[in-house]
Amino acid sequence: MAKKSNKIIIIMFILFLLSINVLNIITSDRKFSEFENRMLAQFPSFKIKYITSGRFTSKFEEYVTDQFAFRDFWVSIKSDIERVTLKTKNHGIFFGKDGYLLEDYNKPNKCLDENISSINSFSEKLPNVTAYLLIAPNSVKIYEDKLPLFASPYNQLETIQYVKENLDENIDFVEVYDILNSKKDEYIYFKTDHHWTMRGAYYAYQVLSNYLGVESYKTNNFDTDIVSDEFYGTFYSRANNTHIAPDSIEVFYPKSNVKYEVNYFDNNKATDTLYEVKYLDKKDKYSFFLDGNHALMTIKTNVKNNKKIAIFKDSYAHCFIPFLTNHYEEIHVIDLRYYNLSVYEYMEEHDIGEALFLYNVTTFSADENIKKLK
């Protein structure tokens, strides 16, 4: 009886393996995983040099893993098992209290020094341009009380203070940690994503306005609206934790009649809005703000004061920039990850007198593209 039972189990296991292999063969390859929010590996090029170097085998293993039938289902099962076994971290993301997902932060390496030096170099080459540096802490610093037991990310305040101490004295360092920490009971960071919310960006804008010499708009100068309550961000995709509530996306619309002329130069797109509603039906809902990442974009407004500012940034700037449109006639937005021309020629050509560098701590600590400023 036992032998018969074993045979049945073996046959069922073989049938299962055969079924999976058949499904892998007949299922069409996917280019992008909405669940994991990343591009998936494609079938590698079959070239002799790739075979002899071992590259083909490595790439083929990635391809098989990424294109495995029902991959999202198996990833979800893996996540459930990890939570049952009380695992507190997955792919660098801590499972925090109250539904917070928080990204681990390691002590920076020499890249941080290079980035500080690059910002200083910018100030030296354009001494007549007033420069500001705003380094936003990440949620892992603001919500340290939400971290699981024994989690010990490197203190981001140490990094922020280090940047401040090594920055050229001609550059205004905009400190926003204190105001964000004082507002931590409000919805200032997404729980499932690495960005701050527009409300968090608003409080940072209040601080920056003091450096810019402009009077910040008060909250009663805006109408607010929740445009989505089904946002699952980058932390959700990396942690693969399916049993967590989604975030909501709040937008601040100025009550004043500000008009926009927005140009995205990498795809020759022009529009009259700062917001792209089409993304609210997609996984990457944060791209609702300024259409996501672009090498270069400009925003011209009907605020006729001849004021221009260039913003060098990561994606934390996307929900921040709308606040500045109330104070500038022109805003030039440059993303050094994608922009490869001379920023100095651009600044001079467009006669721009102010520059804001806006990054979150994690990006500023490790983004090697900032050295393009040298």
Retrieve residue 35's tokens.
């669940």
Average pLDDT over residues 357-372: 98
> What is the number of domains present in the chain?
2
| Chain segment 109-141, per-residue pLDDT in tens | 999 999 999 999 999 999 999 999 999 999 999
Shared domain check, 218 and 122: yes
| Chain segment 285-340, per-residue pLDDT in tens | 999 999 999 999 999 999 999 999 999 999 999 999 999 999 999 999 999 999 99
Q: How confident is the model at residue 7 (pLDDT cuts 50, 70, 90)?
A: low
Question: Is residue 121, in this structure, part of any structural domain at all?
Answer: yes
Q: Residue 212: pLDDT above 60?
A: yes
Range of the domain at 264: 108-373
Q: How confident is the model at residue 90 (pLDDT cuts 50, 70, 90)?
A: confident
Q: What are phi and psi of 213, to 5 degrees?
A: 75, 30
Shared domain check, 45 and 189: no
DSSP for 324-339 reads: HTTT-SEEEEE-TTT-
The pLDDT assigned to 270 comes to 98
| Chain segment 134-177, per-residue pLDDT in tens | 999 999 999 999 999 999 999 999 999 999 999 999 999 999 99
The pLDDT assigned to 88 comes to 85
Question: Is residue 334, in this structure, part of any structural domain at all?
Answer: yes
H/E stretch holding 206 reads: helix 198-212
Residue from 114, 118, 111, 164 nearest 137 by CA: 164
The pLDDT assigned to 373 comes to 97
Query: CA-CA distance, 367 to 373, in Å (whole number)?
Result: 12
- Between CA 122 and CA 128, with CA 123 as vertex, the angle to 5 degrees is 120
Q: What is the dihedral of CA 38, 43, 46, 50, to 10 degrees?
A: 40
More confident call, 277 vs 67? 277
3-class state of residue 312 by DSSP: strand
Question: Is residue 36, in this structure, part of any structural domain at all?
Answer: yes
Shared domain check, 322 and 185: yes
Q: Residue 52: pLDDT above 80?
A: no
Shared domain check, 215 and 171: yes
Report whether 191 contacts 229 (CB < 8 A): no
With tokens 């920490």, the residue in question is 181
Average pLDDT over residues 358-373: 98
> In the listed set 73, 98, 123, which residue is the last one of a domain according to the structure?
98
> In the listed set 36, 66, 98, which residue is the last one of a domain according to the structure?
98
Average pLDDT over residues 74-101: 76
> In the listed set 98, 126, 150, which residue is the last one of a domain according to the structure?
98
Question: Is residue 103, in this structure, part of any structural domain at all?
Answer: no
The pLDDT assigned to 91 comes to 86
Amino acid identity of residue 167, one-letter, is: L
Shared domain check, 199 and 88: no
With tokens 């490869």, the residue in question is 340
Shared domain check, 53 and 22: yes
The pLDDT assigned to 239 comes to 86
Query: CA-CA distance, 365 to 215, in Å (whole number)?
Result: 31
Shared domain check, 35 and 7: yes
Cα separations in angstroms, 287 against 50, 160, 231, 318: 37, 27, 11, 8
Question: Is residue 169, in this structure, part of any structural domain at all?
Answer: yes
Shared domain check, 165 and 131: yes
Shared domain check, 240 and 276: yes
| Chain segment 215-241, per-residue pLDDT in tens | 999 999 999 999 999 999 999 988 877
Q: Of all residues in the chain, what percent carry a pLDDT higher than 70?
A: 76
The pLDDT assigned to 53 comes to 56
More confident call, 7 vs 96? 96
3-class state of residue 252 by DSSP: strand
Q: What are phi and psi of 40, to 5 degrees?
A: -100, 150
Q: Residue 63: pLDDT above 90?
A: no
Shared domain check, 160 and 34: no
Query: CA-CA distance, 336 to 23, in Å (whole number)?
Result: 42
Query: CA-CA distance, 349 to 364, in Å (whole number)?
Result: 27
More confident call, 334 vs 28? 334
Query: CA-CA distance, 82 to 93, in Å (whole number)?
Result: 13
Question: Is residue 210, in this structure, part of any structural domain at all?
Answer: yes
The pLDDT assigned to 74 comes to 54
The pLDDT assigned to 62 comes to 62
Q: How confident is the model at residue 244 (pLDDT cuts 50, 70, 90)?
A: confident
Average pLDDT over all residues of the chain: 88
More confident call, 197 vs 8? 197
Q: Residue 36: pLDDT above 60?
A: no
Question: Is residue 130, in this structure, part of any structural domain at all?
Answer: yes
Shared domain check, 112 and 84: no
Beta strands in the chain (DSSP E): 32-33, 38-39, 89-90, 93-95, 101-103, 130-136, 171-174, 222-231, 247-254, 260-264, 269-271, 296-301, 308-313, 330-334, 354-360
Question: Is residue 242, in this structure, part of any structural domain at all?
Answer: yes
Shared domain check, 240 and 167: yes
The pLDDT assigned to 240 comes to 76
